[in-house]
Amino acid sequence: MTIDCTLVGAEVLTTAGWSTDPLPIAGGLVQVAPTGREIDLSGYIVLPGIVDPHGDGFERHMAPRRGALREAEFGVVATAAELAANGITTAVLAQFFSWEGGMRGPEFADHVFESVTRVRPTVPIDLRLQLRLETHLIDEFTRAEHAIERFGITYVVFNDHLPHQRLAEGRKPPRLTGQALKSGRSPEAHLALMQDLHARSSEVPAALDRLADRLCRRGMVLGSHDDHTSQDRAVWAARGATVSEFPETLEAARAARADGAHIVLGAPNIVRGASHAGNIAAAELVNEGLCDALASDYHYPSPLRAAFRLEELGICDLATAWRLVSAGPAQLLGLQDRGELAPGKRADLIVLDPQSRRVVTTLSAGQVAHMSGPIAQRFLSR
């Protein structure tokens, strides 16, 4: 059930900037004229709901222990609750479709896709799927396309996690035994698989060209991942990839900006102040104007915290930073109905305590997805 009301007294971030004007919502949308009863939110701030274009944090709920795959639908419900508590009203769950096996393998991907599809209509948070396809898994491309069609996936990102240099040198990759255990293979079998995939590298570009062409014809959003050089980005731009996720260098980010791609950076990188993998700091790229969206990546609390961190660092004001977690991600996903608090847009919003900077209320399309503490009395009292 949606809330029909007019929020008054709060500082609201609108498309025109900060405002203390009333914010009416009804039928799941922001309205023009006051409607329903007034809810006094004096002392709080209201922001557009966070649109997360890439999140891996759901994995811990889907399989908290290796092999613990039963009743995964409850894990999706728990994920939705965590997202809502962190102000995320639209979430793209990024699931691997990889030779790496285990929780990154095609079998587990199907399991995740099926569970999310079943739960999605029952939770207020808008849950969406991203298929993260390993470039060298060419024998499974048809299976991946079947999953895309079956589950209505509209966003595909391409990854390449093969340790090519080590394999070319005939050396064992680092952490081979641990990765093999996660995949359910012996170290010998896991290494043999990587060697076979590496040996077929010459077949990959043409296979990717054909696949990308088919996906583009279906209107899919395609993305590259971890671009390192301008050439990396040029290859993916030619294939129709309009998103560059987590470019590793200034060169790659500038190339993405030049070809018109949406640039996605990791919010945890902003919060930590550096890349955990030793790549360029996301704050440097934001400061250069080379960011369109911040993603939770592996940590759902980070988008909100990153927006405030950018303000603290003096890189931009909060209104500008907030676009990187709301309107910017919505645009790259082609979601024109959200990301901003404006008449006719979805009533996706969060109510924030400005002192603690905690999310006290999250509404997704006008439905209560999260509410905590004294704020509940303001919404529930008559």
Among the listed residues 140, 119, 139, the one whose alpha carbon sits nearest the alpha carbon of residue 129: 119
Say whether both 208 and 352 belong to one domain: no
Quick one: what percent of the chain has pLDDT higher than 90?
Answer: 90
pLDDT for 69: 59
Residue 30 is part of which domain span? 1-48+339-382
Measure the CA angle with vertex 208, ends 202 and 213; round to 5°. Answer: 145
The CATH number of the domain holding residue 380 is 2.30.40.10
55 with 296: CB under 8 angstroms? Answer: yes
In 162-205, the DSSP E strands lie at: none
Instruction: Read off the amino acid at residue 93.
Output: L
Record the pTM: 0.95
Q: For residue range 221-246, what is the model confidence (pLDDT) as tens digits? A: 999 999 999 999 999 999 999 999 99
270, 132: one domain: yes
**Terminal Cα distance for the chain, rounded:** 18
Question: 302 and 327 in one domain?
Answer: yes
Domain count, the chain: 2
Evaluate whether 154 touches 214 at the Cβ level (below 8 Å). no
pLDDT of res. 277? 65
Spatial distance between the Cα atoms of 256 and 232, rounded to a whole number of angstroms: 10
Q: Could you report the per-residue pLDDT of 59-99, keeping only the tens digit for each?
A: 888 775 655 556 788 999 999 999 999 999 999 999 999 99
Can you give the length of the chain in residues?
382
Residues 17 and 139 in one domain: no
Q: What is the pLDDT of residues 33-46, one digit of tens each?
A: 999 999 999 999 99
Does 141 share its domain with 282? yes
